[in-house]
Amino acid sequence: MTQGRRPAPGRPRSTSRAPRKRSLRGASLLRLRVGFVLIAMVVSVFGARLFQLQGIDAQAYAAKAEANQATGLVTHTLPATRGSIVDRTGMPLAESVDGKMITADPTMTHDHAQEIAKVLAGRLDIDYFETLDKLRQTDTQFRYIARRVPAAQANDVMAELEARGLEGIATDPDPVRDYPAHDVAANLLGFLGTDGKPLAGFERLFNAMLDGADGSATYETGAGNRIPLGDNSVIPPQAGEDLMLTIDRDVQWYTQRVLRQAVQASGGESGAAVVMDSRTGEVLALADHPTFDANKPLVSPESDLGSRALYDVYEPGSVQKVLTAASLIDAGKVTPETEIVVPPELPRSDRVIHDYWDHGRLRLTLTGVIAKSSNIGTVLAADEFSPKELHSYLAGFGLGKKSGVGIPGEAAGLLPPWRDWSQLRQDTISFGQGVSVNALQMATAVNTIANGGVLIEPSLVKGSATTKKGKVVGSATTDARRVISEQAAQMTTEMMEAVTDPEEGTAPAAAIEGYRVAGKTGTAQRVGEDCGCYDGTFTVSFAGFAPADDPRFLVYVVVQDPKNGGGGGSIGGPAFHKIMTYLLQKYAVPPTGSAPPDTPLEW
Amino acid sequence: MSTLMTQARNRVPRFAEAAVERARLTVVPRRATRAPKVPFVALVSLLLVGGVVGLLLFNTSMQQASFVATELEATAATLNAKEQALQMQLDTLRDPQKVASRARKLGMVPAASPAFIRLSDGKILGNPTVADPADAMRIAPLPTQKPKNLRPDPVILELPPVKTAKKKADTTPADAGNGPAEGTKKQHTSAASGE
């Protein structure tokens, strides 16, 4: 090698080549080896560490990760907001609010129970001593302190506890369903169970629509914060749709209060009232009494949790006389002036038909028969009909069939098939005994007269909505059909105006100063629940609409089993008057200013 | 070995030495075109350092954003809860029952008959009447009645007429009548409230 550095003269370059190459190769080899060893050392350190982490300590780390919930992959549900139920003006009847449940770990709260209970009882609507007991239990680590607390309130409580350094109280999501107007329309809305599942009413019927789909979020966190660029996936929740009813909250409230007063003042067992927009069939109020507070359904008896106006049937009584009379006029058999001789009593088959008041031989026009609500007169007029004709008219008015409002469970009522009618049967049916209806059905039938002879199916849902059985219901899908001619409807209306006549009619209390009001009272014998026969109790009712020459609203009030001896005119009439007055005022319907007809009642 | 070969070659007689010498091929030395190293190194290190620092800053800012996001989410949740609480409060105030009972406290009652003024000609439609307290209706529910077992039937004691008071009873019949009359009165009231 030394020779390489001392090349012979003349060939210096050629000789120097080989030795240099060799030295280069030697150096790189050495470097390679050193490098390899270094890399091997580093890699083996890695390998050892890997083995330590994965093989030896794996369990410990997994446990540690699990213990620290703020770190690692987190999945939590994003609860969907349940749709609201609003009235026709958009005012909420039922809405969902973020809520929290407040829970305690008594093992941690035991020592500071008094202080904690003081804070909790001061800020929440709970009992101090009960809470104290719960906080002092020794056999459990979990107790509910309060459920469905609005989130803001729960946050305040937690903030105060934290500020005072008190531990052992925790919160969890617990959505609240709030019914801001309490018992207003509760009979229609229904309620949710403690687990958030709908148990009754529209909450259950339209659950598929109101209930959204929960979403979920999955992401990695470190110390409570989301790790950027970490695994994450979000399925956004689908909020439920809102449901708009045709109900007007204010009208519903007023109707419920008037109805309550009417039922309580008369000592009645229960009552129902229906307020309908005559032209569209939209139900502005459907009230029941007794009813319940939708926020606290469990404190009311189970029998009050539904809607008697929809689910219960009764015999309508004299209100039906207007249907019979309208049918007779439409068929051309009678006019409002038709003269009828009304005897004191009328023997038919083996029975004798009476009027509710004693009278001698009366010479009444058909208008007089309606105004005074004479059974005998109606029976005599209805003699013009064969059973088949009367049946087909009454079926046309919707009796014996569901009203078409689309609420499952609605009672269909009963209109016996005409082939089974005896003479007596036809007689009683003509004045409303021996048939049964629900309140909404009867309101719809009478509204046919208010709406110029065209029956409009009632609706409770504004627009349209799909029930859980997939049926589309609502004001957008209602059908209308002509039952009687417009002229017959107008004649019947004029007859009904005589009912509110201050001297001659049966319901002077229903009259409204300055307005033309058409109506009809009803006082029916009632079938008792125990014996299944007429037990001497009554159903009193009043159906009417105003203004008579251009009807806007129909109001129907029914009170079951009043005990003060009142009839449709004295119990239903004042209630009708109050509700109709309110409606005319609220919707700004001025009097039409036309003069009422002057049809003679007697001849 | 190479020394031997050189010696052997040296022994070979030399002819046309100059030509041979001229004809010998040599390798042209490679031109050492040394590009200046500094800019390249600078560029690479700049890229490296820049990348690392950039990544670091990016990561930090992401982390920062994550903190801010968490904080904002919490604030949003709180504000949302507050909004809902206020909304609930508003709903409570708007509750028709509440409005009506406050109106009632102000001495208001529903109007007895609706009447309107037509603005176009100032004509009054309907018959305006003055509302009076009789138009008021009860808006609050009836007070809850005590359950039957807390409302015992009145106990009626029938006392035998006191003989010694015979004289007295004759003189003051009203006093003697007081006892039983009160008893029946009580019975009546309790029967009425029982309905």
The 10s digit of each residue's pLDDT in A402-420 is: 888 888 788 888 899 988 8
- DSSP character string of B90-134: HHHHH-HHHHHHHHHHTT----SS--EE-TTT-PEES------GG
CATH number for the domain spanning A277: value is 3.40.710.10
At a CB cut-off of 8 Å and minimum separation 6, what does A494 contact?
A: A336, A367, A518, A548, A596, A597, A599
Put simply, the chain A residues between 46 and 75 with a CB less than 8 A from any chain B CB are none
- Residue A207 belongs to a domain: yes
* Residue A602, domain member (yes or no): no
What are the residues whose beta carbons fall under 8 Å from the beta carbon of A424, sequence distance 6 or more? A348, A349, A350, A351
Q: Residue A441: what residue type?
A: Q
Task: Return the SS3 of A226.
Answer: strand
In angstroms, rounded to a whole number, what is the distance separating the alpha carbons of residues A308 and A186?
A: 12
Q: Which strands make up the sheet holding A85-86, listed edge to edge?
A: A176-178, A92-97, A85-86, A243-244
Is residue A478 domain-resident? Answer: yes
**What pLDDT is attached to residue A6?**
47
Question: Do residue A426 and residue A464 come from a single domain?
Answer: yes
**Per-residue pLDDT tens digits of chain B, which is 195 residues long:** 555 656 655 666 667 778 877 777 777 777 777 778 888 999 999 999 999 999 999 989 988 888 898 899 889 988 888 888 888 888 888 889 999 999 989 988 888 788 889 899 988 888 888 888 877 888 888 777 777 777 777 788 888 887 665 444 444 444 444 444 444 444 443 333 333
- Rounded Cα–Cα distance for residues A473 and A404 (Å): 9
H/E segment holding residue A330: helix A321-330
How near does any CA of chain B get to the CA of A423, in Å?
A: 41
Do the Cβ atoms of A8 and B116 come within 8 Å?
Answer: no
**How many angstroms separate the CA atoms of A338 and A359, rounded?**
20
Contact (Cβ atoms closer than 8 angstroms) between residue A580 and residue A555: yes
Distance between CA atoms of A496 and A447, rounded to whole angstroms?
Answer: 13
pLDDT digits (tens, 9 = 90+) for A328-365: 999 999 999 889 999 998 888 788 888 888 888 889 99
* In a domain? residue A13: no
Query: Is A435:A400 a contact under the CB 8 Å cutoff?
Result: yes
Give B183→chain A minimum CA distance, Å: 26
| Residue pair B101/A572 in contact by the 8 Å Cβ criterion | no
In this predicted model, what pLDDT tens digit does every residue of A274-295 receive, in sequence order?
Answer: 999 999 999 999 999 889 998 8
A360 plus A494 within the same structural domain: yes
Cβ within 8 Å, pair A253-B100 = yes
Best A584, A586, A592, A594 residue to mutate vs chain B (most B CBs within 10 Å): A584
- CA–CA dist A336, A603 (Å, integer): 12
Closest chain B CA to residue A266: B195
- Domain identity same for A197 and A311: no
CB A311 within 8 A of CB A411: yes
Are A213 and A294 part of one and the same domain? no
* Residue A11 located in a structural domain: no
Angle at B162 between CA B161 and CA B165, to 5 degrees: 120
Chain B residues with beta carbon closer than 8 angstroms to that of A257: 100, 137-139
Residue A331 lies in a domain: yes
Q: Is A229 on the interface with B (CB under 8 A)?
A: yes
Report residue A186's pLDDT band, with 50, 70 and 90 as the boundaries.
very high
**pLDDT, tens only, A368-404:** 999 989 999 999 999 889 999 999 999 999 999 888 8
Cβ(A312)–Cβ(A438) below 8 Å = yes
Residues A269 and A357 in one domain: yes
Number of domains in chain A: 3
Quick check: is A15 in a domain? no
pLDDT of residue A594: 86
Same domain, A282 and A199: no
Q: Count interface pairs A-B at CB distance under 8 A.
A: 116
> Chain A residues with CB inside 8 Å of B125's CB?
514, 590-591, 593
- Give the residue with greater pLDDT, A545 vs A15: A545
Is the domain of A175 the same as that of A312?
no
Q: Look at the alpha carbons of B173, B175, B178, B180 in this order and tell me if their dihedral is positive or negative.
A: negative
Range of the domain at A167: 76-244
Q: How many CB atoms lie within 10 A of CB A41?
A: 10
Total Cβ atoms within 10 A of residue A318: 28
Q: What is the pLDDT of residue A320?
A: 92
Q: For residue A468, what pLDDT band results from cuts at 50, 70 and 90? A: confident
Residue A596 maps to a domain: no
Chain B residue with minimal CA distance to A260? Answer: B141
Distance CA A149, CA A125 (A): 9
Tokens of A481: 């059909």
List Cβ neighbours of A539 (8 Å cut-off, separation of 6 or more): A314, A315, A316, A317, A522, A523, A524, A525, A526, A558, A559, A560, A561
Chain A: closest CA distance from residue B132 (Å): 14
Per-residue pLDDT of A64-112, as tens digits, reads: 766 665 566 777 777 788 889 999 998 999 988 888 888 888 888 888 8
Tell whether the model's pLDDT for residue A453 goes beyond 80: yes
The answer to whether residue A249 neighbours chain B at the CB level (below 8 Å) is: yes
As a whole number, mean pLDDT of residues A170-194 equals 86
pLDDT band at residue A422 using 50, 70 and 90 as cut-offs: confident
Determine the pLDDT at residue A572: 92
Q: Is the separation of the CB atoms in A581 and A591 below 8 Å?
A: no
Span A509-526, average pLDDT: 90
Q: A442: number of CA atoms within 13 Å, CB side?
A: 37
Tell me, yes or no, if A17 comes closer than 8 A to chain B by beta carbon.
no
> Does the model's pTM come out above 0.95?
no
A92 shares contact with chain B (CB less than 8 Å):
yes
> What number of other Cβ atoms are within 10 A of residue B127's Cβ?
14
Percent of chain A with pLDDT over 70: 92
Question: How many DSSP H helices and E strands does chain A contain?
Answer: 20, 24
A91 in contact with B at a CB cutoff of 8 Å? yes
Subunit contact A97:B84, Cβ cutoff 8 A: yes
pLDDT of A502 > 80? The answer is yes
Task: Say what the pLDDT of residue A70 is.
Answer: 53
Interface of A with B in 100-159 (CB under 8 A): 150-153, 155
Token pair of A342, please? 């009304």
Residues A474 and A344 in one domain: yes
Are A50 and A92 in a shared domain? Answer: no
pLDDT of A469 strictly over 90: no
**pLDDT at res. A224:** 60
DSSP percent split of chain A into helix, strand, coil, nearest 5: 40, 25, 35
The two structure tokens encoding residue A476: 């957008």
Task: Check if the beta carbon of residue A368 is closer than 8 Å to that of residue A602.
Answer: yes
| Structure-token pair, residue A453 | 């002879």
Please tell me which residue, A530 or A502, carries the higher pLDDT value: A502
Which of A191, A218, A244 is at the close of a domain? A244
When pLDDT is cut at 50, 70 and 90, the band that residue A2 belongs to is: very low
**Closest approach of A114 to chain B, Cα-based (Å):** 28
Rounded to whole angstroms, what are the CA distances from A134 to A30, A112, A129? 78, 12, 9
Tell me the average pLDDT across A450-472: 89
* CATH at residue A108: 3.90.1310.10
Return the higher-pLDDT residue of A558 and A567.
Answer: A558
Mean pLDDT of chain A: 86
CA distance A538 to B145: 25
Residue A471, φ and ψ in degrees, nearest 5? -90, 135
Please, where are the H alpha helices in A229-320? 249-266, 308-311
Residue B116: its chain A contacts at CB < 8 A? 588, 590
Average pLDDT for residues A185-190, to the nearest whole number? 91
Residue A266 designated active-site: no
Select the more confidently predicted residue: B69 or A19. Answer: B69
Q: Tell me the residue type at B131.
A: A
Residue A151: name the closest of B82, B18, B91, B159 by CA: B82
pLDDT tens digits, one per residue of A334-343 = 999 889 999 9
Say whether residue B80 is in contact with chain A using an 8 A CB cutoff. yes
Same domain, A48 and A167: no
Q: How far apart are CA B12 and CA A450, in angstroms?
A: 144
Q: Which residue of A has its CA nearest to B66?
A: A226
The answer to whether B129 faces chain A, any CB pair under 8 Å, is yes
**Domain shared by A145 and A179, yes or no:** yes
On whether both A346 and A449 belong to a single domain, the answer is yes
